[in-house]
Amino acid sequence: MPFNIIVLIKQIVDIDLLKTDPSTGSPQVNNLPMRLENLSKNAIEEAVRIREKHGGKIYGICFGTEKSTSAMKEAYAMGVDEGFVITGYQGNDPSRTAKVLAEKIRTIPHDIILMGNQSAESYTGILPGRISRILGEPLLSNGVKIELQDGKAKVTMAMESENVTAEAPCPVIISVTQEINEPRLPPVMQILQAGKKKINVESTTVQGRTDLKVLSNLAPKSERKKIIFEDPEKGIPEIVKAIKEAMK
Amino acid sequence: MKALVFSDMDDHTIQLLSYFSGMMDTDCVTSGHKAAQIAEFCAGTVYSLKNQFFPDTISSVIADLHKKNAYDYLVIGSTAVGRDVAGILGEELGIDVASEITEFRIDGDSCVTKRFFYGGKTVIEESSKSRILTVMPGISEPKKSTKPGNVVEITGPDSRISLVNRENKSAGAVDLEKAGIIVSVGRGIGNKENIEKIRPLAEAVRGEIAGSRPICLDYHWLSEDRQVGLSGKKVKPKMYIALGISGQIQHIAGMRGSKVVVAINKDKSAPIFEEADYGIVGDIFQVVPKIVDLLKQ
Ligand SMILES: Cc1cc2nc3c(=O)[nH]c(=O)nc-3n(C[C@H](O)[C@H](O)[C@H](O)COP(=O)(O)OP(=O)(O)OC[C@H]3O[C@@H](n4cnc5c(N)ncnc54)[C@H](O)[C@@H]3O)c2cc1C
Ligand SMILES: Nc1ncnc2c1ncn2[C@@H]1O[C@H](COP(=O)(O)O)[C@@H](O)[C@H]1O
C-alpha cells in the first residue's frame, strides 16, 4: 500500500560555521549560509526510504522566507516530490510555526507526517506535540525505527531509560531522532534536476506572539586557562599536579 | 503562586520540585514508580499515574488538574515524553511554552528564562508570559520539603497509541552528575576494545567514564546513560578529562559547568582546546599511560 507523506522541513543558518565575537560574545549571523536543519534531513531520508519500499508521494512543507527555496531544492535533490515554501518566518515561535504548518497540512491528504524531534539550532522540541494536538492525529515520537503495515505505523521510540515500541493507525505524526538513519548525499545529477523543479511559494497571515522579548543572546563566557602543551613531556607533570589537586 | 510539576524521570521530578518549591506551592504528577519518595519533596499533592505513560494521556491528566486548580505554572521535565506533553498542553490550553530552560525567575507578570541557542553556541535570555516550562535536567540539588505531601492515585484516559513492547536500555547505576572526576572519550578512542586502555586512568583518579554522542549512541561502545552533551548528561565535576574529543559545541554544552577541564587531542586546532584549562597536543595512547605512571608514583 502506497503512503502519502508530508515532511516538515526547517531551514537554519549554518550553525557549524557560526562564530561568536571573542570580546562581546555576540553571534555573527550576518552573511552566514543557510542550510537544511539536521533533523529535517533525517525526516526527509526516512520519507524517501518509505517511498522506496511502499510507493507513494512525498510533500515537503517549509515555513521560512523567500530564501527557503534553496532548502526545498536540497529536499528535492534528496527525493521530495512536491514542495511548499510558506514565507513570513520571523524567528523561533513554535506556537505560530505550528499553526502555519497545520493550516497547510490540512490541505494535503496524507497518511504520515514526518518531522524532526528537536531542531538542531533552536532545540525547542515542542512542535510535534503541538501539531499532533491541532490536527488531532496521534503522535509517535523520537522514532529510531519505523515499520508500516495494514494502514498502521509501528515505531520504536527512544526514551531516556527505555525503548518503547508502540503503534497507531494512520494518519499519524512521527518525529524522528538523529539515530534513525544516515541522510543521503544526493548525486550531482539529482541536484541539477532539483534546481529546475517548481516550488510552490505561499504566504501566511498567522500572527506571532508579542510577549516574548530577547534580553540577550551571547556565547557563554569561557574563563578557561587554555594552557596548551605541544610537548607532552612538559604537559604531563602539570596535568598530574592538577589531577592530584582535583582528587583532594 | 502555585505550580504543577511533571517529569517521567523520578530524579528529575525531585530536582524540579526542589527548585520550584522555593518559589511557589507545588503539586506533582508522576508516571514513575516512586510516588512515596517523591512526596518527601512535594508539600502538596502527588498524583500518581499507574501504567500510563504516553504523552496524550499525561497531558490530558495535567490539563484537567489545571482546569480544576488554576496553576500559575506548569513545569515539565524536558525529556522525550515531557517535550511532547508540553507541546500538546500548549495547544490544548492555549498557553505559551518556554522550552529547554536552565534558569527561571519571576519578574512581575512575566518570567525570565535562560536556555541554549544556536545548537549550544549561545545562551539566550528571554522575558515572556509563558506559563508552561520545559526544564532541562540538573537545575538543582534535591531538597526535602518541610512537610511531606499526600499521594493520590489517578487514572487518565486511554492513549490513542497502543503499546507493543518496552525494553530497558542497558543503563547501569552510573551517576555522572555526582562524579568528582570524569574521564570522557570521543571518537579518537578508535574502537570499543581501546576503552580498556584508558580505564586505568579512570581508576587511578577514582573517576567515572563517559563519552561523546557517537561513542554512546551511534557505536554503543559505552551505554547511553554515559553520554555527555546537549542531548545527554549535563555534568559539573571537579575535573573533566576529554580524551580524543573534538569539542563540538553540542558536546561542550554538557560539560561547560566542569571546574577544571583537561583535554588531550592530537589535533592542535581541535576546538576542545578553546574550552580547556590544560591541554596536551598528543596521542591519547601515548600520553594517558604516562599520566597513570606518574600518578602512581
Ligand atoms: C541536535 C544534536 C545534538 C547533539 N548532541 C550531542 C551530545 O549530547 N553529545 C555529544 O558529544 N555530541 C552531540 N552531538 C554531536 C556533535 O555535533 C559531534 O558530532 C560529536 O560531539 C563529535 O564527537 P567526537 O568529539 O567524539 O568525535 P570527532 O568530532 O570525530 O572527534 C574525534 C577527535 O579525536 C581526535 N583524535 C583521533 N585520534 C586520536 C588519538 N589517537 N589521540 C588523541 N586524539 C585523537 C581527533 O583529532 C578529533 O578531534 C549532537 C549533534 C546534534 C546535531
Ligand atoms: N519553520 C519550520 N518549517 C517546517 N518544519 C519545521 C519548522 N520548524 C521546525 N520544523 C520541524 O519540526 C522539527 C522539530 O523542531 P523544533 O520543535 O523547532 O525543535 C524540525 O526538525 C522540523 O522537522
Query: What span, in angstroms and rounded, lies between the C-alpha atoms of B172 and B225?
Result: 8
pLDDT, chain B, mean? 93
What percent of chain A has pLDDT above 70? 100
pLDDT of residue B139: 84
pLDDT (tens digit, 9 = 90+) per residue, B97-143?
999 999 999 999 999 999 988 888 889 999 999 999 999 887 888 89
pLDDT of residue A19: 87
B-chain residues within 8 Å CB-CB of A96?
Answer: none
Q: What are phi and psi of B159, to 5 degrees?
A: -75, 160
CATH of range A5-203; options 3.90.1200.10, 3.40.50.9100, 3.40.50.620, 3.40.50.10490: 3.40.50.620
Instruction: Please count the CA atoms within 13 angstroms of the CA of B191 that sit on its side-chain side.
Output: 1
Does one domain contain both B146 and B188?
A: no
Residue B172 has pLDDT above 80, yes or no: no
Residue B170 has pLDDT above 70, yes or no: no
The partner residue sitting opposite A162, judged by closest CB among B166, B249, B280, is: B166
Listed range (A11-20, A93-102, A128-137, B281-290) with the worst mean pLDDT: A11-20
Task: Transcribe A91-152 into DSSP letters.
Answer: S--HHHHHHHHHHHHTTS--SEEEEESS-TTT----HHHHHHHHHT--EEEEEEEEEEETTE
Interface mutation vs chain B, best among A105, A160, A226, most B CBs within 10 Å: A160
Q: Does some domain include residue B196? A: yes
Q: Does A125 contact B110 at a Cβ distance shorter than 8 Å?
A: no
pLDDT of residue A35: 94
Per-residue pLDDT band at A29 (split at 50, 70, 90): confident
Does one domain contain both B284 and B218?
A: yes
B-chain residues within 8 Å CB-CB of A17?
Answer: none
* Nearest Cα residue to atom 19 of ligand 1: B248
Query: What span, in angstroms and rounded, lies between the C-alpha atoms of B53 and B50?
Result: 8
Report how many domains make up chain B. 2
- What residue spans define the domains of chain A? 5-203
Query: What span, in angstroms and rounded, lies between the C-alpha atoms of A212 and B53?
Result: 32
- A177 CA from centroid of ligand 1 (Å): 18
A-chain residues within 8 Å CB-CB of B116?
Answer: 123
| Residue of A17, A115, A178 best suited for mutating to test ligand 1, as the one with most atoms within 8 Å of CB | A178
Give me the interface pTM, i.e. the ipTM. 0.89
Residue B171 has pLDDT above 80, yes or no: no
**Pocket (CB within 6 angstroms of ligand 2):** A 8-10, 37, 39-40, 43, 61-64, 89, 94, 97, 101, 115-116, 118-119, 122-127
Q: Does some domain include residue B166? A: no
Residue B229 domain boundaries: 176-296
Q: Does B80 contact A142 at a Cβ distance shorter than 8 Å?
A: yes
Per-residue pLDDT band at B173 (split at 50, 70, 90): low
Does one domain contain both B108 and B209?
A: no
* CA B115 to each of CA A87, B148, B230: distance values in angstroms, whole numbers, following the listed order: 27, 31, 11
pLDDT, chain A, mean? 94
pLDDT (tens digit, 9 = 90+) per residue, A199-226?
999 999 999 999 999 999 998 877 899 9
Query: What span, in angstroms and rounded, lies between the C-alpha atoms of A215 and B124?
Result: 8
Q: Does some domain include residue B43? A: yes
Does one domain contain both B118 and B205?
A: no
Per-residue pLDDT band at A55 (split at 50, 70, 90): very high
Per-residue pLDDT band at A120 (split at 50, 70, 90): confident
For chain A, the first-to-last Cα distance in angstroms comes to: 65
Does one domain contain both B138 and B6?
A: yes
Does one domain contain both B132 and B27?
A: yes
pTM, 2 dp:
0.87
Residue B297 has pLDDT above 90, yes or no: no
Listed range (B189-198, B249-258, B281-290) with the worst mean pLDDT: B249-258
pLDDT of residue B249: 81
The partner residue sitting opposite B121, judged by closest CB among A20, A211, A229, is: A20
Does one domain contain both B6 and B56?
A: yes
Does one domain contain both B112 and B237?
A: no
pLDDT of residue B261: 97
Query: What span, in angstroms and rounded, lies between the C-alpha atoms of B183 and B240?
Result: 6
Query: What span, in angstroms and rounded, lies between the C-alpha atoms of B99 and B132?
Result: 8
Residue B258 has pLDDT above 80, yes or no: yes
Q: Does some domain include residue B167? A: no
Interface mutation vs chain B, best among A96, A103, A126, most B CBs within 10 Å: A126
Q: In 3D, which of B97, B102, B105 has the Cα closest to residue B116?
A: B102
Tell me the CATH number at B97.
3.40.50.620
Residue A81 has pLDDT above 90, yes or no: yes
Does one domain contain both B119 and B73?
A: yes
Per-residue pLDDT band at B214 (split at 50, 70, 90): very high
Does one domain contain both B70 and B140?
A: yes
pLDDT (tens digit, 9 = 90+) per residue, B18-76?
999 989 999 999 998 899 999 999 989 999 998 899 999 999 999 999 999 999 999 99
Q: Does some domain include residue B164? A: no
Q: Does A129 contact B55 at a Cβ distance shorter than 8 Å?
A: yes
Tell me the CATH number at B282.
3.40.50.1220
Does one domain contain both B191 and B242?
A: yes
**What burial class does residue A65 get, using C-beta atoms within 10 Å of its C-beta: 0-12 exposed, 13-18 middle, 19+ buried?**
middle
Does one domain contain both B7 and B136?
A: yes
